[in-house]
Structure 1
Amino acid sequence: MSLLVKQLTTYLALLAIGGGAGIYASRYLAADNTSLDGRSPSAIPAALQQISPPQNRAPQENLNFIAEAAEKVGPAVVRIDASRTVSQDIPDTFRSPFFRRFFGNEMPVPEERVERGTGSGFILSADGRLMTNAHVVAGSDKVKVTLKDGRTMEGRVVGADPVTDVAVVKIDATKLPTVRLGDSNNLIPGQWAIAIGNPLGLDNTVTVGIVSATGRSSSQVGVPDKRVRFIQTDAAINPGNSGGPLLNARGEVIGINTAIRANAQGLGFAIPIETAERVANQLFSKGRVEHPYMGIQMVTLTPELKEDINKDNEAGFKVTQDKGVVIVRVVKNSPAERAGLRAGDVIQKVGGQAVASADQVQERVEASTVGSRLEVEVNRSGQTETVQVQPGAFPVE
């Protein structure tokens, strides 16, 4: 395998790749996979700041802000148990006339098994609208929802979006406790982060840490098929936490806990609540989400990658720039092909804004609208050209 192919295997980012995930409600990321709004820790003493206890509590209990947030949000965090039937198909070899001739009715029968998984979710409205991860409910139309007070209800999966890993569930109930949504746009590393969920089946577990980083790209996290900029936290997240809320110091939801890195400590990731809320609203209203799609494979250029591309005849094109985003493949019959984009084009601007990485291109396309005109400026063989692309709907299937 040529060095270029190895490089592309590592760095390729398909602008419109999506994918589902398993039923199990904890997403592990292989360690070698390449991938509060509140007070800053420096402003709070090592002993957590004491706050005035509620009227219905004895004064000596000395609640801190973490306990207060957990007490406020905990009743709105639910456990979600999902299951699906999986059948193992007969290998093609056994379908041949030769095998049927000799084995007849003794041919192997596909085995069916039930896969079960447990995850978390949280209640958005008093009438039973819930949010969770798509991989928590993957393959299920109905799920079992258990509230903190012990009530168990059947939940209907209204919609799931594997591209962002957000799903919504509806239960028939009224006067339910709800969470309050916060703001993740202005998070700063070092701010408090509180996670509530059901790790390993231990319901309503509370863990605390800080926001370790913001804006982690899907490729950095190790899930390049997602269109999300993740929040990184060191609050302990374990199998079963997926779909549960990440809170700021005021007890407001700033994200959905969705992924952890295997063989690592203190590496958890959450979907920003603004992304999750936008997707959830579309799922509740339409049952699906339309993601703008161009249909290209691209890679962020470096001087080393440029040299490798130009040395390898398999690429079929030459690159003259050291920086930018080079298109390495255009998907057949895609909006990009219809607009005239070609392999070897180096993308310089999308929608009038300069881009320096494949992640930035993906973000600009995601911010566009299906069916609208999106201006893409490229360098083609040393000449600057502008191409009008009309993004289509992401082909989920």
Structure 2
Amino acid sequence: MEPTQYFGGVEGGGTHSNLVICDQLGRVVGKSRGPGTNHWALGIDECAQRIIDMLHTAKQDAGIPLDTPLDSLGLTLSGCEQESSNAMLAARVREKDGACAQTIYVASDTAGSLFTGAPNGGMVLIAGTGSNSLLRTPDGQQYGCGGWGYLFGDEGGAYWIAFRAVKTIFDDEDGLRPAPHPTRAVWRAISDHFGADTRADLLPYASKLFDKSQFAGLTAKLSKLAEAGDALSQHLFAEAGAALAAHVAALTERAQRAHSGAAVFRDGIRVVCVGSVWNSWSALKPGALKQLAARREKLNAASVISLAGRRNQFNFIADVVAVSAPSVVYIEIKDGRRADLFTGKSISLSNGSGFIVKEDGLILTNAHVVVNKPNAIVNVRLMDGSNHTGFVESVDLKSDLATLRIPVKNLPTMKLGTSADLRPGEWVVAMGSPLALSNTVTAGVVSSTQRGSAELGIRGKDMVYIQTDAPITFGNSGGPLVNLDGEAIGINSMKVTSGISFAIPIDYVKEFLAKSKTKPPPVSRRYLGITMLSLTENILLELRMRNPEVKESVIAQWAIWLAFRVFNLRN
């Protein structure tokens, strides 16, 4: 039986911290609570000691001996944004207790909350003693906002709310900036929290007696006032809500600018809210929603002017081509017996298109592209420019379908969709080699999904076709008709006139491919052919030169022998 593994984690803020120990199954086996663990406020030595104290308490709660190290200990603490100071803190913890853990990881409180609450990307918004926010996109990019401490930031945090409450009282009394609402209830809360009778009694708490956590504790009393209906307290929390919402808007806008205006989170952003201030969400909500609405209007107004990012956002046809084009091939039929007088190369009889359906080299095309071509050599050119000789495997003249194979492995394949649920008006992309111009793309919509062969004047075929206005012409035959999911839903087959083209539904193709798998391999057949040859003076002379004693009766037999031919014809 394998020994139990233990993993510890600390979530540390400026006011208080929590430590939890879990086993390998994720069950909480021990926990403890302690004071704040921001090393910038405490110093690294004191911060490390507080962590050790909490760890020992949690080990005792879990029944783990103090000299038994955890398998790992993760510290996600307020103020741990710098790698250098994080390394110093981890080293100091290990110095104080060598048996604390085999491995120690240190990261910021935002990073820990983000990877816990939104592992696939999202935002963490901390509103405790201070405030901080971090956004991570699904592709791993990270953007931060706030978290600069009480001198430069902490907007929306508990200290920020408490400070603004005290400042509002001072400014109102001085006549510097009148308070928007009566101040009596808020002043009573301030006086009670600090034990102050006058404003002068508060001054030591801003200098030698300053304690950020103790100052931020006033916010809990203000929260109760807001719940009781005090207008000034509600106003202060609404301003805090607006400040926190500004963090969300700022990070969202930065991420969109970095991604050229494209939607970073298609299904909305998951925001993980951490910190005791969020317990007063009902008081924060009015200001937060108002701020988000204002920033959204600003962003929308800007987007009317700026077109940046629209190419990536709306070029859905290009996305289809990027996925599907590598599997489309150019097919050229050459005459194996005739050569061009100038180049010496085989004469081209016709050309068409096809697409790879199996990575082992199986290609789908129209039957009329590859059959009824005397002395034909099938040449296939892939998208990478390489040329290969193809061999026809299966043909169905009724449905005008054929497969051929090239001796190449690990090829990109076209995904086959379904034509049963195709709808008129649906966007489609026609791909192929019209007029021998390989890698050509045209787009249009489905005009009809059920155009019968009888309606088109085609006799002897009980089939239906997909009608599309995607332009196709000679050479497109055999190429795929693709939907916006990058799936082939038809094979381009016929052009009637501009804007009216037809494709064989892919459901016919699937039946054809299924039958081809069960069809026995082709049998090579040999034929004997005899051609009658007139005996000219030259032929008679040649025969007598070979054997002057030959009789006239044998000359006719030799002439027949000269005309004898054996042909090895393949199906």
Q: TM-score w.r.t. structure 2 length?
A: 0.34
Q: TM-score w.r.t. structure 1 length?
A: 0.49
Structure whose alpha-carbon radius of gyration is higher: 2
- Structure holding more strand per residue: 1
